[in-house]
Chain A
């Protein structure tokens, strides 16, 4: 009857979140001024790739992008999911995790369980690596009552920047609704696990990374085990690279992760002005650095690391109308943006309270009561 009321937003920031929340709350979205002033205006390849992915997963959604790509009109449909040979070639400007993060939330509320093959860069310094995704992000989902069967990420082959060539298979079950959580106790770190990988380089890289990281951890806890994953042949992708992903598991079942990946930078055509790292960081330093980052995250005292704050908040906001309580460390800028977007789209406002004794922040919210309506009645 009436005309569509688009929610208007500006700029390219947090595009994934906006689209995800718009889809879940079925709010039509209009984004303007996407890099309007930049030398390379409009949407970037990975963003377009994400939009294509969204189109692939949704039924009856409409996406209109103007010629320059600076304006985007999105009208959400129903998330379909499905298992029938869904394959998506992710753009090489960002890693696969860029696509995995929003996919995770969307797929929970789709019509059918999702199984999708994603191809591209598996490990990247900008996004959390797929290893972290597997070890930490999926674990976080379980806290919200997502069944563990059917929740899986399989790394078929790895691909480093800039040429990628990695492949992962993600499968996510569907839920009727999430459970509200009370995650205020981060607990104590009981073990540290990790994966060091290397593609198209000597396997010694793995060992030296592991060695240096262990060197740091040995002062804290003996239960440290870092797997080495050296890929060869086609499973190693198209470009050389190496990296490490560490995760600390606490006795309360919280997972805190840190990761990085080292590879040669991207070429100019992507538009990313990335300073070419001619000399890559040596593996020893990488191991040490990431171990330090992980300890830094542990020091923060949250139930999740700074990377996962956004996801945690979104999941809390999607819970039924019960109170969720979570404790995080310093709010990350991404987390803050997430909180704002949640307020805008779902109308859920968190009560944010600092806990001065531990320098953490406690957030509480009443979920928006989202239910998976598209799920079939059995």
Chain B
């Protein structure tokens, strides 16, 4: 709202146009052009309505264009402050990726980054945070990065041109929902020739455009200055990034995921020492994106595998957004920066502690002082900040110890949670809880669950780490007494910490306790006061709170009620509003909400009912329910399943006039006004109620989801209170996840994993995912059936063995041996469930030293099934053993009589095309007799009938379809568990194996082509029987023509011999004729040549004359025009 007001008030400086210089000239030129344009428009004829058809077409075109621009709005369900946007910087090696990140970080925070390692979070603006990630160079890293990137900066070496990595990455991006992409050309200083540079830029830009879309932004970074990119260019790049809008991608919006900032292995070292391959416990920190993480979901850690969460906790935001106060730009101290893996950034937030990196020389100043001051543990008389700083130095806990502890207790908590399922949600309604939970967190830290604070103290003293702990406990005590004090302390401390961000580039990491735990419960209290709806979620996430109730719910809550009643008096007023609905909800969901609805705690129940009795108007209903419940509780378990609610009371007599009047307005014949007011949403208390209602919503959701952006980070609250009390929501939080690792975890090798959940991982059972797949056109080879490929579906990457198929016209899925070259085919593989329409990338070779395009295929999931119905063609071949008339006994087609029984009635065919049918297994009969009498007749001989008699030399076929099994092979890629430079080795393809073992491709000798040898066939002469001949008609009768006695005339004629004279004459005539024909031929050629010449000449002439004519015409028109103009002017 504040923003809106500023918007309306703010007056922008008006544009001042150039007074001189080239800009002015160009502007004025444009203006002139416009004038001429408008002149042209003055021609009325040109723009008059001419053709209705054309007009219609134009109109429809504009409408269509309009429609094309419209699209279904994407519902963005995210609320609260968004987590930082992830900017992935990708490019081939040696292109300057880390330098770009370093420059950008320097631009935003004025900090020099020694090395880029892991995600780097920075505050880039008042409303925006960014997280920079350098994309690893291997294809696994690229696939993962493409899945979490909000913006991909594709770095391209301008001096070299595009490299395969860029295109591969673009392809992966396209398949996994296309995030924003911006190209950055680097290494442009290698060009000496300006023209060449320009040409290259142009060329690369256009190539880039064809890949993405015309006009995609390609940024140029022109060379290095002192080993850095020019400041101005980085500034511009940052500006582009800061105005970029990110649209939610459907997959990511519906699936929670975390880009891990940092992780810690908290397995007890002893355990690791004992068993190197023991289950590890790992803490993972990061911002939660996508949607809320549900409790009890399994997570997938990219490159590691599927694991279950031991717990989630909200943490303070390490990099919070600045306050919303009206001001321009960021203050220096708000330019926060969080890069835990890069060894920079001074704050590390943990579940129960915050670590600060301080330079040694900065610490030393208070060392001596501390010795005396440390003992006065209250430290109220001193400067609070000072005390705290001193306390920092005293930190004796090692991180490992600390974490180890927290781990153990968390486990306990986990068990408790597991036992009780979704129980805890409503419990937090009771006022006592807020405080309670604080203690529980304490308990969390220590090994023991029950009364946290005291136990804690004793234990820590046992361990000779008294000072730190004592301080904590004390401050906790004070905290419970006087909240404000503690809060102040906290706030001032935060101040300090934030300021430190700027000038410490610390090396030694020390642990700092500033009673973060105090925080927790104080904050909880204040939280409750402010927005009482929230505590539900808060408690859940800060999570220790629950198990005490599980132990002894009833008594404890009562006690707590008594104990803390004074604390809660103030908030009671606010609660009264939401009270009533909680009561009704309690009735439905029960107060303790035991896991199974049927096994309700009776005590709980009754108490709930009693409470509800207090509300007057609801009394009758409540009573009804109580009765009902009482009736239920015994017979409940086996009550009849009937949706119809049969009212046992006596029905009202609706003939009674009063009754009629009572519902008169429920009919259209009644009073409409009254009806309107009745059906309205209860507005009476809407104004003050609304907040409560919506608060409830949040609450409710958080209860379900366990995690919400806004509700659960408890530690953050203090900062908020100080920074901007008006801010309504928490921003993001860090999650501590614990995943159990089965395998050895090579920590330092894998700086960024993603943890993510998938939707319905039912029982680890796989499905057959049917996908529509196309081999990538740049991939050199076709893919072989059943050869393992690595697919990336959803968040996962795994190796699997697909079966390729194609759908026949009759709906049958026919197996293919290889993928078609330029066509889609169906690929079915076994793997975890993937929802339809998910994109799939398939890779066959992961190795980095491959010159060719590595992405083998892209696909989209069509459906998943429990069985794949893929068939392949089978040809059963048999030979006749005995041929009767049209019946034959066929052997070697079947192996047993049972098989024959299965195939009775099946169609068969001989090679020559005679069709037939399988009848039955042959009994002992001719052709199927045992060799020795008394033996069994041979099995597998089928009696078949044909449409004609077949020959013994015939081969009989049966064409059938056999279903093919899809191999159940699923091998998740564990690339994060091995060094980056090592290529992951999974199942090998057949070709690879053959190459390795030097095996030849097996072939069937019969399949080889041999030269066909055909002997000339000798046919016997046709002999027509005499009787037949006699019956034939005369025409067809073979004629018995006797051989001719006299020779033919020409044979009989004697040879003519010419006289010498005659011969001469004859020769002469012949010569003359020859001469004449030669002459004619020559003349023809000549004429042809002449004609051609003439044509050329003519063409030339024509050209000339046309030119002349044009000139003439032009002249004439010009004159006419002049004349007309003159006339017009005169007129």
Q: Which residues of B lie under 8 Å from residue A332 when comparing CB positions?
A: 645
Range class of the B interface residue count = 35 or more
Expressed in whole angstroms, the Cα–Cα distance for A298 and B865 within the complex equals 46
Tell me how far the C-beta of B973 lies from the nearest C-beta in chain A, rounded to whole angstroms: 17
B398 near A: Cβ within 8 Å?
Answer: no
Tell me how far the C-beta of B952 lies from the nearest C-beta in chain A, rounded to whole angstroms: 46
A307 in contact with B643 (CB, 8 Å): yes
Given known A4-B763, A301-B666, contact A13–B641 (CB-CB < 8 A):
yes
Given known A187-B679, A347-B704, contact A352–B654 (CB-CB < 8 A):
no
Q: Which residues of A lie under 8 Å from residue B684 when comparing CB positions?
A: 357
B833 in contact with A361 (CB, 8 Å): no
A351 in contact with B643 (CB, 8 Å): no
Expressed in whole angstroms, the Cα–Cα distance for A343 and B652 within the complex equals 35
B621 near A: Cβ within 8 Å?
Answer: yes
Checking B641, B660, B700, B835 against A219 with a beta-carbon cut-off of 8 angstroms, the contacting residue is B660
B589 in contact with A339 (CB, 8 Å): yes
* Chain A residue, CB-CB nearest to B764: A1
Q: Which residues of B lie under 8 Å from residue A251 when comparing CB positions?
A: 668
- List the 7 closest A-B pairs by CB distance, nearest first: A11-B637, A377-B836, A60-B866, A340-B597, A306-B645, A332-B645, A353-B581
Q: A59-B867, A295-B663, A306-B644 are in contact. List 15 more A-B contacts (CB 8 A).
A: A13-B638, A26-B760, A34-B638, A77-B866, A188-B675, A219-B655, A221-B668, A330-B624, A351-B693, A352-B584, A353-B584, A354-B584, A354-B618, A357-B684, A358-B678
A337 near B: Cβ within 8 Å?
Answer: yes
Stretch at the interface among A155-163, A194-202, A285-293: A285-293
Expressed in whole angstroms, the Cα–Cα distance for A333 and B597 within the complex equals 13
* Chain B residue, CB-CB nearest to A347: B704
* Residue among A341, A350, A352 with the highest chain B CB neighbour number at 10 A: A352
B672 near A: Cβ within 8 Å?
Answer: yes
A127 in contact with B588 (CB, 8 Å): no
Q: List 11 A-B contacts (CB under 8 A).
A: A13-B637, A252-B679, A330-B624, A331-B621, A334-B643, A340-B589, A340-B590, A349-B704, A350-B585, A354-B617, A376-B836
B703 near A: Cβ within 8 Å?
Answer: yes
B interface, CB within 8 angstroms of A = 75, 77, 254, 291, 294, 306, 421-422, 425, 580-581, 584-585, 587-590, 593, 595-599, 617-618, 621, 624-625, 628, 632, 636-647, 651-655, 660, 662-670, 672, 675, 678-682, 684, 693, 696-697, 700-701, 703-704, 759-760, 762-764, 833, 835-837, 860-867
Q: Which residues of B lie under 8 Å from residue A185 when comparing CB positions?
A: 679-680
B-facing mask of A171-197, CB < 8 A → 1, else 0? Answer: 000000000000011111110000000
Expressed in whole angstroms, the Cα–Cα distance for A366 and B294 within the complex equals 14
Tell me how far the C-beta of B181 lies from the nearest C-beta in chain A, rounded to whole angstroms: 25
B588 in contact with A339 (CB, 8 Å): yes
A357 in contact with B682 (CB, 8 Å): yes
Tell me how far the C-beta of B725 lies from the nearest C-beta in chain A, rounded to whole angstroms: 28
Expressed in whole angstroms, the Cα–Cα distance for A359 and B861 within the complex equals 50
Tell me how far the C-beta of A49 lies from the nearest C-beta in chain B, rounded to whole angstroms: 13
B863 in contact with A377 (CB, 8 Å): yes
A64 near B: Cβ within 8 Å?
Answer: no
Expressed in whole angstroms, the Cα–Cα distance for A26 and B704 within the complex equals 18
Expressed in whole angstroms, the Cα–Cα distance for A365 and B700 within the complex equals 8
Range class of the A interface residue count = 35 or more
A126 near B: Cβ within 8 Å?
Answer: yes
Expressed in whole angstroms, the Cα–Cα distance for A22 and B227 within the complex equals 62
A28 near B: Cβ within 8 Å?
Answer: yes
Checking A9, A188, A222, A376 against B666 with a beta-carbon cut-off of 8 angstroms, the contacting residue is A188
Q: Which residues of B lie under 8 Å from residue A56 when comparing CB positions?
A: none
Stretch at the interface among A115-123, A262-270, A367-375: A367-375
B701 in contact with A366 (CB, 8 Å): yes
A139 near B: Cβ within 8 Å?
Answer: no
Expressed in whole angstroms, the Cα–Cα distance for A343 and B590 within the complex equals 11
* Residue among B621, B763, B862 with the highest chain A CB neighbour number at 10 A: B763
B637 in contact with A321 (CB, 8 Å): no
A188 in contact with B668 (CB, 8 Å): yes
How many residue pairs link A and B with beta carbons under 8 A? The number is 237
B-facing mask of A21-40, CB < 8 A → 1, else 0? Answer: 00000101000011100100
* Chain B residue, CB-CB nearest to A25: B760
Tell me how far the C-beta of A252 lies from the nearest C-beta in chain B, rounded to whole angstroms: 8
* Chain B residue, CB-CB nearest to A18: B641
A233 near B: Cβ within 8 Å?
Answer: no
Q: Which residues of A lie under 8 Å from residue B665 when comparing CB positions?
A: 188
A14 near B: Cβ within 8 Å?
Answer: yes
B599 in contact with A10 (CB, 8 Å): yes
Given known A347-B294, A351-B697, contact A369–B589 (CB-CB < 8 A):
no
Q: Which residues of B lie under 8 Å from residue A60 when comparing CB positions?
A: 866
Expressed in whole angstroms, the Cα–Cα distance for A362 and B697 within the complex equals 14
Expressed in whole angstroms, the Cα–Cα distance for A341 and B593 within the complex equals 12
Tell me how far the C-beta of B735 lies from the nearest C-beta in chain A, rounded to whole angstroms: 19
Checking A28, A184, A337 against B681 with a beta-carbon cut-off of 8 angstroms, the contacting residue is A184
* Chain B residue, CB-CB nearest to A59: B866
Q: Which residues of B lie under 8 Å from residue A77 when comparing CB positions?
A: 866
Expressed in whole angstroms, the Cα–Cα distance for A373 and B760 within the complex equals 10
Expressed in whole angstroms, the Cα–Cα distance for A310 and B675 within the complex equals 26
Expressed in whole angstroms, the Cα–Cα distance for A289 and B660 within the complex equals 15
A351 in contact with B597 (CB, 8 Å): no
* Chain B residue, CB-CB nearest to A58: B866
A355 near B: Cβ within 8 Å?
Answer: yes
A352 in contact with B588 (CB, 8 Å): yes
* Chain B residue, CB-CB nearest to A3: B763
Expressed in whole angstroms, the Cα–Cα distance for A366 and B696 within the complex equals 11
A88 near B: Cβ within 8 Å?
Answer: no
Q: Which residues of A lie under 8 Å from residue B660 when comparing CB positions?
A: 219-220
Q: Which residues of B lie under 8 Å from residue A101 when comparing CB positions?
A: 643
Checking A298, A337, A350 against B597 with a beta-carbon cut-off of 8 angstroms, the contacting residue is A337
A334 in contact with B645 (CB, 8 Å): yes
A11 in contact with B836 (CB, 8 Å): no
Q: Which residues of B lie under 8 Å from residue A220 when comparing CB positions?
A: 660, 663-664, 667, 669
Tell me how far the C-beta of B114 lies from the nearest C-beta in chain A, rounded to whole angstroms: 42
A221 in contact with B667 (CB, 8 Å): yes
A136 near B: Cβ within 8 Å?
Answer: no
A128 near B: Cβ within 8 Å?
Answer: yes
* Chain A residue, CB-CB nearest to B624: A330
* Residue among A187, A295, A306 with the highest chain B CB neighbour number at 10 A: A295
Checking B621, B637, B655, B664 against A33 with a beta-carbon cut-off of 8 angstroms, the contacting residue is B637
Given known A220-B664, A307-B645, contact A9–B598 (CB-CB < 8 A):
yes
Given known A292-B654, A296-B651, contact A10–B598 (CB-CB < 8 A):
yes
Q: Which residues of A lie under 8 Å from residue B663 when comparing CB positions?
A: 220, 295, 298-299
B704 in contact with A348 (CB, 8 Å): yes
Tell me how far the C-beta of B292 lies from the nearest C-beta in chain A, rounded to whole angstroms: 9
Checking A189, A216, A296, A361 against B647 with a beta-carbon cut-off of 8 angstroms, the contacting residue is A296
* Chain A residue, CB-CB nearest to B833: A373
A12 near B: Cβ within 8 Å?
Answer: yes
B422 in contact with A343 (CB, 8 Å): yes
Checking B77, B598, B701 against A11 with a beta-carbon cut-off of 8 angstroms, the contacting residue is B598
Expressed in whole angstroms, the Cα–Cα distance for A223 and B7 within the complex equals 56
